[in-house]
Amino acid sequence: MIKSIEQLKKEKDVVILAHYYVDDEVQKVADYVGDSYYLSKIATTVPQKTILFCGVTFMGESAKLLNPNKKVLLPDATADCPMAHMAEISKIEEIKKQYKDVAVVCYINSTAELKQYVDVCVTSSNALKIVKNLPNEYIYFIPDYNLGHYIAEQIPEKKFIFNSGYCPVHQDITADSVKRKIKQYPNAKVLVHPECQSDVILLGDYVGSTSFLIQAAKKEEAEEFIVCTEKGILYELRKNCPNKDFYLAGEKQVCQGMKLVTLEKIRQTLEQEKPEQIVELSEDTIRLAKKPLEKMLELSE
Ligand code: 13P
Ligand code: SF4
């Protein structure tokens, strides 16, 4: 299977990008694995004509928006992120009318449709820097309430308007379950993704994007870690820190969408390129929705 994927990739001039949350075997066949910011940046520099994105739909859409002339393939077009849909265009328009000096800041975990109406995109690794430097007095942060709230606490000079979106995987990690793990492993450091609720974030020794958490575990002297994010990250954590131990905080840290990507589907996509596996966006959507993504890349420099 891996050999035929390698061969098809070469024949068809395809690069494989994967997020840390996909299954281990999928991460192994990828050319680049990373967090959402790294993957969107790398998508703009790869020379291949086709990008096969092992992740959820909004990731494939973002790669397409940033590279409209490339073909972008998704092994499973139904691999969706529920949070990507948790904001409303009518509400954005209402807020823009109500607040004159407002920037609509949109987490990259959002549909291309939503991105058409926002000012700038952010990921968990650049949100703080970007929002801090925006000139606007008001920030309407969509769709994630938890990330928005985490950023807002660090930028008291701005006035935030929140939205109620959330990631079901991170929302399910409770402070009680983290506390229980801390009791069990008192020497462990706690790694927390900012999509978690604020009472979980408060328990974190390190809070940040998936890449940030992996780097933190590498540098940290401690030998045990409690992990408050999706379980796919364990593959890279254990690869980088073979002598350290990692424990998941809860029971249900599985992103259903990410797990729909399999080696078999990757091979099939490379072979057949079925219409539903090719990311298609209208010219208008590309024109409008790529702007906030390009702005994100510009402001993260
Ligand atoms: P990062 O990898 O950018 O931290 O994002 C996590 C996530 O939920 C991706 O869907
Ligand atoms: Fe969406 Fe959560 Fe899955 Fe990330 S982990 S893709 S935010 S559902």
Asked if the structure places residue 94 within a domain, the reply is yes
Give the model's pLDDT for residue 79. Answer: 98
For the chain, 301 residues long, give each residue's pLDDT as a single digit of tens.
999 999 999 999 999 999 999 999 999 999 999 999 999 999 999 999 999 999 999 999 999 999 999 999 999 999 999 999 999 999 999 999 999 999 999 999 999 999 999 999 999 999 999 999 999 999 999 999 999 999 999 999 999 999 999 999 999 999 999 999 999 999 999 999 999 999 999 999 999 999 999 999 999 999 999 999 999 999 999 999 999 999 999 988 999 999 999 999 999 999 999 999 999 999 999 999 999 999 999 999 8
Indicate whether residue 210 lines ligand 1 (CB < 6 A).
yes
- Do 37 and 91 have their domain in common? no
Domain boundary among 145, 166, 187: 166
Indicate whether residue 123 lines ligand 1 (CB < 6 A).
yes
- Pairing label, strands 138-142, 120-122: unpaired
Kindly give the number of the ligand 2 atom that is closest to the alpha carbon of 229: 5
Give the model's pLDDT for residue 224. Answer: 98
* Region for residue 273 given its phi and psi (left: phi exceeds 0; alpha: psi -120 to 50; beta: otherwise): left
State the ipTM, two decimals: 0.97
Q: What global pTM score does this model have?
A: 0.97
Kindly give the number of the ligand 1 atom that is closest to the alpha carbon of 193: 4
Residue corresponding to tokens 């078999």: 264
- Do 91 and 76 have their domain in common? no
Indicate whether residue 169 lines ligand 2 (CB < 6 A).
yes
Asked if the structure places residue 295 within a domain, the reply is no
Give the model's pLDDT for residue 43. Answer: 97
* CA–CA distance, 209 with 123 (Å, rounded to integer): 8
* CATH number, position 33: 3.40.50.10800
Which one, of 160, 162, 193, lies nearest residue 178 by Cα?
A: 193
Which residue minimizes the CA distance to atom 6 of ligand 2?
A: 81
- Do 96 and 154 have their domain in common? yes
Indicate whether residue 81 lines ligand 2 (CB < 6 A).
yes
Indicate whether residue 35 lines ligand 2 (CB < 6 A).
no
How many domains is the chain built from? 3
Give the model's pLDDT for residue 98. Answer: 97
Q: How many Cβ atoms sit within 10 Å of the Cβ of residue 160? A: 17
Indicate whether residue 36 lines ligand 1 (CB < 6 A).
yes
Ligand nearest to the CA of residue 80, numbered in listed order: 2
**Sign, Cα dihedral of 227, 228, 231, 233:** negative
Domain ranges, residue 130: 83-166
Between the CA of 36 and the centroid of ligand 1 the distance, in Å, is 5
Asked if the structure places residue 160 within a domain, the reply is yes
Asked if the structure places residue 106 within a domain, the reply is yes
Indicate whether residue 106 lines ligand 2 (CB < 6 A).
no
Ligand nearest to the CA of residue 191, numbered in listed order: 1
Give the model's pLDDT for residue 1. Answer: 94
Which residues, listed in sequence order, are joined to residue 17 by a DSSP beta bridge? Answer: 32, 53
Asked if the structure places residue 43 within a domain, the reply is yes
Give the model's pLDDT for residue 301. Answer: 86
- Do 112 and 147 have their domain in common? yes
Helix 283-300 and helix 57-66: axis angle, to 10°? 90
- Do 66 and 117 have their domain in common? no
Which residue minimizes the CA distance to atom 4 of ligand 1?
A: 209
Which residue minimizes the CA distance to atom 2 of ligand 2?
A: 167
Asked if the structure places residue 301 within a domain, the reply is no
